[in-house]
Copies of this chain bind each other. A is one copy, B any other.
Amino acid sequence: MFEVRLVQGSVLKKVVEAIRELVTDANFDCSSTGLSLQAMDSSHVALVALLLRSDGFEHFRCDRNVSMGMNLANVSKILRTAGNDDIITLKADDDGDVLTFMFESPNQDRISDIEMKLMDIKSEHLGIPDAEYEAVVKMPSQEFLRICKDLSNIGDTVVISVTKEGVKFSTRGDIGNANIVCRQNTTVDKPEDSTTIQMKEPVSLMFALRYMNSFTKATSLSSSVTISMSSDLPIVVEYKIADMGYLRFYLAPKIEDDEDQA
């Protein structure tokens, strides 16, 4: 028996909208700890990791561990029929190959239930070591969104360089070259608007902007984003989900071309 109840149903809607561009099918793994998902994007370049801890739900019952395979486009279609304020309940029998979504409007006037057939997806669960990163940048998620969007108008890749001065996002394209530098600033009124940098070692890595832009689909989940980098390790772009967990994206760096200075 699996049954969980989430008063803030919009969280689930946002999570699915954030990862559906990257991942078409995925297993949602449920245990007494909570609900988690780990999946490679369709071209096996990026990795998505979601955790929603059981204590973030109003009700969480999961008698035994289950892995529920879903097509995210279908999940999205179903969740779009839920209001943003709806309470969402997910239910499945132990042997069930069906997941039931229940949506209750805030005033209980309208209750919908939608059954969705589950799929068998071979899971490729990778252990992700909890590395110590050489540089960790926390910045407003909106600002990161804006930077990735702006830079992708110029070029296809971004070099993220962290020094003690700040974090620099650079791209090169036919139009020209662009650099955006964000300095550390903790003096801002609201902590979520601050940019903080923890650095053991200067790091500079290059990534495909296409994936970065996909990651920023999660912007509405959190007002800040945390970017962790070490030489030769995948970057981690993390959006915390208040009181529940996180949505993390991993992406391997591109080898920097020894480009001639134009």
Across-interface contacts of A74 in B (CB, < 8 A): 175-176
- The answer to whether A121 has its CB under 8 Å from any CB of chain B is no
When the two chains form their complex, are residues B150 and A81 in contact, meaning their CB atoms are under 8 A apart?
yes
- The answer to whether A117 has its CB under 8 Å from any CB of chain B is yes
* A27 → chain B closest CB, angstroms: 18
When the two chains form their complex, are residues B115 and A177 in contact, meaning their CB atoms are under 8 A apart?
yes
Given the known interface contacts A116-B175, A175-B116, the answer about A180 and B111 at a Cβ–Cβ threshold of 8 Å is yes
**For window 74-107 of chain A, which residues contact chain B by CB distance below 8 Å?**
74, 77-78, 80-81, 98
Q: How many residues of A contact B (CB 8 A)?
A: 32
Report the Cα distance A112→B180, complex, angstroms.
4
Across-interface contacts of A115 in B (CB, < 8 A): 176-178
Report the Cα distance A150→B109, complex, angstroms.
17
* A170 → chain B closest CB, angstroms: 10
Report the Cα distance A110→B166, complex, angstroms.
10
Point out which of A77, A114, A150 has the most chain B C-beta atoms below 10 A from its C-beta: A114
Contact partner of A114 (CB less than 8 A), chosen from B77, B80, B154, is B154
- The answer to whether A61 has its CB under 8 Å from any CB of chain B is no
Across-interface contacts of A153 in B (CB, < 8 A): 77, 80-81
Contact with B along A175-200 (1 / 0, CB 8 A): 11111111101000000000100000
Of chain B, the residue at the smallest CB distance from A171 is B114
Report the Cα distance A114→B195, complex, angstroms.
22
Contact partner of A185 (CB less than 8 A), chosen from B109, B112, B143, is B109
When the two chains form their complex, are residues B112 and A78 in contact, meaning their CB atoms are under 8 A apart?
no
- The answer to whether A58 has its CB under 8 Å from any CB of chain B is no
Report the Cα distance A177→B100, complex, angstroms.
9
Residues in A lying within 8 Å of B, measured CB to CB: 74, 77-78, 80-81, 98, 108-117, 143, 150-151, 153-154, 175-183, 185, 195
11 contacts between A and B (CB under 8 A): A74-B175, A74-B176, A77-B154, A77-B175, A81-B153, A81-B154, A109-B185, A112-B150, A112-B181, A116-B175, A116-B176
